[in-house]
Structure 1
Amino acid sequence: MPGDRPAGRPTLPPVRLHPDAELARDALGTPLLARAVRLARWAGPETRVGAGGELVDEQLPAAAEALGLTADEDGAAYASEAWRIAVDTGLVNVVDPEDDATGHGTGHGTVTTGDHLRLVTGGSPKDVLALWQDAFDAVFADAIAPVLDDLAHVIGEGGEIDFEALDWDPESEAEFLDGVLGNLYLLTVSESGAGEEQIPLPALAASMIVPDDIREPTDAVLEQVSDAMMRLDDQFRLLEPIGLVEYRPVDEALMAEEGTESAPSLSAAEEEDVSRYGMVRLTPLGLYGIRARMLEGGVVAPAVGDLADKDAKALLDGVSHYPDRSARAETAQWLALRETSAAARDLLAAARGTDPGAPLRRLHCQQALALAGAEAEPAVRDVLDDRELGGLARVWLAEGGSADVPAPPESMIFWLAVDTIAAQLDAEGDLEELQDLVEGLVGQHSGFFEEAWRVDHPAAADVLEAMGRLHRDKKTAKDARKAAFKARSRPGS
């Protein structure tokens, strides 16, 4: 999974999910779940299953035909796979093997309609998505299962599989695939990430194998990436029919060209069409499913709309470290549920404070008021004389073209300057933009530092110290550090 962030900040950027009703339609339209539903409706009292709940071989041709597939080996495989999903999701219930009249087991069981089948047409979108999530979990378990190409060396006494001989660790396999899906999720939701673009499979495999501090991977590392890539190729082929991903598999001709059945070499990947090595993209349903899986695992994975029913302070604190586009979308949803004038007053009240998060709350309050529009003006004018909000109010009114904006007192100008830089420092934005802001503020006011160290703002000393690090003029940077020392030496600091 993506790395940790400082406490209190989301691990991942917020995802913009499609509406539940749309996702539920997508879920019911996925090939694997749709086939499972059809088989659940096809099954009846005469349907026979083995001791493990699987369809007996004699039933597979009829099951394939019920799905509109040919009754050959491929059709039987698709039918068997869909039946397992029907059982795992509760679309059908397996009844214990029957006893014949003599009391000896026949070895065959029967099935009845499962309670979950009615959810397909009578359940809510959330019900349908929960059903799909169960199907995804079942496919995930299949995807991390060992590949049993040669069973001879792993069959123990009694004909049972010796899993220790497989050298298979289910926990590490699950952790690896979860990590891959987590990286794919991060690339999809990141504002600067892939978005709608497909991700090359070698890059995704490398994100799990190649350490960040290695500039040129060794041949041994590249071989590990190749092996991981081929394992992922198998796994994504399984995950595509459940609607998690759109996947273009590895071109099988690559192995033929290299005269081997093993993983293709990556040495030429950058010199030819990388799509031949596999391309993958998460679907909207996949975003939903992976997020649900991460939430269950304790990962902080916010979604746009999570804060819509929260109060103004929760909104401003919550969007403090969202990307700009997500913060605007979250704020717009919050405002849409409220009367504008009252919402503006709540936002301004929530923006007050001397705690470390207050400057960034005020910055996001100003941005939220910009989305609120002209109806917020009465509430904004009410705080013109407020020590903490008066500068913000004047900036908002001026940017909106309002008339009769009173000139701020000099103390408010410097207080707002310190507050603005404190907010930008906490936001951890672009360094060059922050340097431009610092140099612009200093350039607008002669004797800036002589006044700034006197500002009664809790972040004044830290801001001045940061300005000393950021300003590109050495003399001005030195003046900032001197001012920071004075601010820390001020009585009461």
Structure 2
Amino acid sequence: MRTWFEPEEAEEFEAAKDLLIRRCVAWAEDHGHPVDGLLLSAAVDARHESRDGRLAYWDGACIRFFLLRYVPYKVTAPREKLDLAPEVLLTYLRYLDVTGLRDPRGVTVGEAEEIIAGTRAEYAAALDDPTLRGMATFWAYTAIDQGFDLTVPGAFERFKRELDAGRVPYDEQVLDKIMQNRLVYGGIEEERAFPQPPVTLPPAAELTEAARRSRTVQRFITLADWLGKDGRALTDAGNLRVADALEVSALLGTGEEQLRVRSAADLPQLNLLLAWAKKLRLTRTSKGRLLRVAKAAPLLRDPETLWRRAFEVLPELGRVVTVPVATWRPEPILAEVFDEILPDVLNSMYGMDEMPVIRLEETVWLACQEYFVLDQEKRLLDFWRREVARDLGRMFEILSDLGAVELSRGPADPLYASDLDHDDQPLPPDAVERLRTALAEPDLPLVRLTPLGMRGVRDRLLADGRDAPLVGELATAPPAELLGVLAQHYPPEDAVAELHGWLAQPGQDIETLVQAVRECPFRTRVGAMLRVLADALPRRRLLQDLRHDPVLGPAVWTQLIDAGEMQPGALSDRENLLLGAENFLSVLELAGPEELVEQLRRMGGGDAYEFMEAILASGHPDVVGMRELREQVAEPLRRIGRHPLRLVPTRPPGARGRRKKRKR
């Protein structure tokens, strides 16, 4: 049972969604919890369509988005049914919890209950506001209000004909507001983001000390001290006086105090620090003076928080990061898209070792050409490309002073040249040739994120709703949830590290993990969890020890047979039936009951219903799955009647956007 799918895995996702809804509805009815298939489907869709796509991950932002944005925008249903959405969502979260599907990095059921309770008034108001609907929902409700029963085939087409003929009244003001909202804010659709690799960070105390040592943080503190209580006078143009500018430059160590300038505006490093400090609300201007903000004193005494805030606002400072050093330089390209380029570059570096700067220069230059329509004359293109590379280099120097990146020199890892000849290479031929030549050099500028920078990028990724695993964050997670996350979101090496960290905690041992696998109600997830354990622990010992386990035996045999470590002939007749049940249950989860029925009907030799009766009598421990096999597979086969099968194998088939360009 997977709870994460690529957007293009439509069939696999739909099968998993049907399974989740089917099982959740049955569980809710058995336990007396409110449930509705349409609202469950909306909850699953909302997470699948999100930035990270994790069906079982829910935090406060996810809960509020679903209730206050997604349901009003996308779900068409009678009001009495929509009023149940908070309770149905809570039922779904409870089901994820009791089955071990919940992503432990989200909120607990208790926390979710409090969040949902806190949104009830807002949710009712959102349902009352028709301008929060999407276009499709608006027209669907209009059709219903005009007496069209959209559950009847062809009803919407008849409604559309009546609408086109001008015979359907509708609220034009509401429609105009919906269209205006979409133009200004866009819809609620989110583009799926690339999964990020797990990273390892040093202890919190080391990160705090690194923030304290940051050259930029120290400069902010020095600047505030230099301003004092009375501040410093500004010229009519709003700049520091030259003498003051040179004085503070010497104190800050920018290296600009020896420059002979006519205006403080000609000191780019000082101007950046002043603009940065103003953005952080460390300073302000009033009555011709640059003043220290008194309320910023706590921030200046907390270097770590100051560092985080400085890192957060840096993307907003493109105009001063890329400010021309000479007046003849035109407005830098990078200045206009800095707020998007900087996060993209940092994301590219996330989880990577030293990267050659030239590789980033080429990808940034390619991105800039997507944003702007540039003169294609080669001399001008080369000029713009060099200017972008120069500003990118300045950006890295600023990040280095902040302590977010580390700059060095040396040979590039062969990895960065290995894809230059691939057919799907996005870079143009001239860029590929430049890279091929440059990457062969033995002494290249290299860059990588520091641990402090890694944490800063991770914080931003999480705030953006993305999955950014951290090795060690699952150290106290419930065992079933731990194994589920490792199986889906961690490469084998990182899964091993995370698992051993979990086992190092008091009271957490292998038997606890094995028991969690035994209790898992999904056979495909049982197999995935066993693979995680087998990869992290001595494989032969673990699987061989579990070979005769009354609950896990069939899943273990499947893995041993697939690995060639066990022959099917070594199983008894009863064990073969158990193995057959294991495989059919897996197909039932992966493809659904209708597909399994069709597979059985297509098979040759024997009687499908009688074979299923033997499978159902095998004693397989999956009570819920075996009940579904009887009700949704065996019973349809019985009704269909006998169908000759030619062969009954032990393993049945199937077990297996950006801104518009602007002219320059």
* Smaller-chain TM-score bracket: 0.5 to 0.7
CA-to-partner distance for each residue in 1:305-361, whole Å, 9 max, x for gaps?
3323432222111111301232223233333343135x7436513552225423212
The change in CA–CA distance for 1:95 and 1:201 in structure 2 (over 3 A counts) is closer
The change in CA–CA distance for 1:357 and 1:244 in structure 2 (over 3 A counts) is same
Out of 542, 549, 555, the residue aligned to residue 396 of structure 1 is 542
1:69 CA displacement = 6.4
Could you say which residue in structure 1 is the equivalent of 2:581?
Answer: 455
What CA distance in whole angstroms lies between the structure 2 residues aligned with 1:294 and 1:279?
23
Could you say which residue in structure 2 is the equivalent of 1:364?
Answer: 532
Alignment partner of 1:63 is 2:248: yes
Out of 317, 320, 323, the residue aligned to residue 487 of structure 2 is 320
Out of 448, 466, 472, the residue aligned to residue 305 of structure 1 is 472
CA-to-partner distance for each residue in 1:178-212, whole Å, 9 max, x for gaps?
22221111xxx2xxxxx44x21123234456679x
CA-to-partner distance for each residue in 1:423-469, whole Å, 9 max, x for gaps?
xxxxxxxxxxxxxx73615x73348899477334455558999xxxx
Could you say which residue in structure 2 is the equivalent of 1:134?
Answer: 309
> What is the letter of the counterpart of residue 48 of structure 1?
R
Instruction: Report if aligned partners of 1:304, 1:329 keep a CA contact under 8 Å in 2.
Output: yes
TM norm structure 1? 0.60
Out of 387, 397, 411, the residue aligned to residue 237 of structure 1 is 397
Could you say which residue in structure 1 is the equivalent of 2:340?
Answer: 175
Instruction: Report if aligned partners of 2:483, 2:532 keep a CA contact under 8 Å in 1.
Output: yes
Instruction: Report if aligned partners of 1:249, 1:278 keep a CA contact under 8 Å in 2.
Output: yes
> What is the letter of the counterpart of residue 133 of structure 1?
R
> What is the letter of the counterpart of residue 72 of structure 1?
Q
1:79 CA displacement = 4.2
With 15-24 and 200-209 compared, the bigger mean Cα shift is at: 200-209
1:240 CA displacement = 1.7
TM norm structure 2? 0.46
> What is the letter of the counterpart of residue 21 of structure 1?
A
The change in CA–CA distance for 1:208 and 1:275 in structure 2 (over 3 A counts) is farther
Instruction: Report if aligned partners of 2:318, 2:336 keep a CA contact under 8 Å in 1.
Output: no
Could you say which residue in structure 2 is the equivalent of 1:427?
Answer: none
**Structure 2, gaps ≥5 residues long:** 1-5, 10-47, 55-193, 368-376, 411-429, 592-598, 613-628, 634-664
Instruction: Report if aligned partners of 2:197, 2:469 keep a CA contact under 8 Å in 1.
Output: yes
The change in CA–CA distance for 1:285 and 1:415 in structure 2 (over 3 A counts) is closer
What CA distance in whole angstroms lies between the structure 2 residues aligned with 1:302 and 1:25?
23
The equivalences for 1:136-155 within 5 A come to 136-143=311-318, 147-148=323-324
The change in CA–CA distance for 1:64 and 1:328 in structure 2 (over 3 A counts) is same
Could you say which residue in structure 2 is the equivalent of 1:111?
Answer: 292
Out of 412, 416, 422, the residue aligned to residue 556 of structure 2 is 416
The change in CA–CA distance for 1:288 and 1:483 in structure 2 (over 3 A counts) is farther
The change in CA–CA distance for 1:457 and 1:278 in structure 2 (over 3 A counts) is same
1:22 CA displacement = 0.8
CA-to-partner distance for each residue in 1:362-388, whole Å, 9 max, x for gaps?
3335567x49xxxxxxxxxxxxxxxxx
CA-to-partner distance for each residue in 1:80-116, whole Å, 9 max, x for gaps?
44344444334x343522xxxxxxxxx2343354534
The change in CA–CA distance for 1:210 and 1:485 in structure 2 (over 3 A counts) is farther
Out of 179, 187, 200, the residue aligned to residue 16 of structure 1 is 200
Out of 267, 279, 283, the residue aligned to residue 88 of structure 1 is 279
The change in CA–CA distance for 1:131 and 1:408 in structure 2 (over 3 A counts) is closer
The change in CA–CA distance for 1:488 and 1:19 in structure 2 (over 3 A counts) is farther
> What is the letter of the counterpart of residue 202 of structure 1?
I
> What is the letter of the counterpart of residue 310 of structure 2?
A
Instruction: Report if aligned partners of 2:479, 2:512 keep a CA contact under 8 Å in 1.
Output: no
What CA distance in whole angstroms lies between the structure 2 residues aligned with 1:332 and 1:62?
55
> What is the letter of the counterpart of residue 252 of structure 2?
L
Out of 259, 280, 290, the residue aligned to residue 73 of structure 1 is 259
What CA distance in whole angstroms lies between the structure 2 residues aligned with 1:114 and 1:488?
81
Instruction: Report if aligned partners of 2:523, 2:585 keep a CA contact under 8 Å in 1.
Output: no
The change in CA–CA distance for 1:347 and 1:84 in structure 2 (over 3 A counts) is farther
What CA distance in whole angstroms lies between the structure 1 residues aligned with 2:532 and 2:435?
45
What CA distance in whole angstroms lies between the structure 1 residues aligned with 2:585 and 2:459?
39
The change in CA–CA distance for 1:139 and 1:73 in structure 2 (over 3 A counts) is farther
Instruction: Report if aligned partners of 1:12, 1:300 keep a CA contact under 8 Å in 2.
Output: yes
Alignment partner of 1:29 is 2:246: no
Residue identity over aligned pairs, in percent, reads 21
Instruction: Report if aligned partners of 1:309, 1:334 keep a CA contact under 8 Å in 2.
Output: yes
Could you say which residue in structure 2 is the equivalent of 1:201?
Answer: 357
What CA distance in whole angstroms lies between the structure 2 residues aligned with 1:206 and 1:44?
45
Could you say which residue in structure 2 is the equivalent of 1:428?
Answer: none
Residue correspondences, number: 374
Out of 239, 251, 270, the residue aligned to residue 436 of structure 2 is 270
The change in CA–CA distance for 1:173 and 1:62 in structure 2 (over 3 A counts) is closer
Alignment partner of 1:438 is 2:629: no
What CA distance in whole angstroms lies between the structure 2 residues aligned with 1:334 and 1:268?
47
> What is the letter of the counterpart of residue 358 of structure 1?
V
> What is the letter of the counterpart of residue 500 of structure 2?
A
**Structure 1, gaps ≥5 residues long:** 98-106, 155-165, 190-194, 212-218, 251-263, 372-391, 400-404, 422-436, 466-480
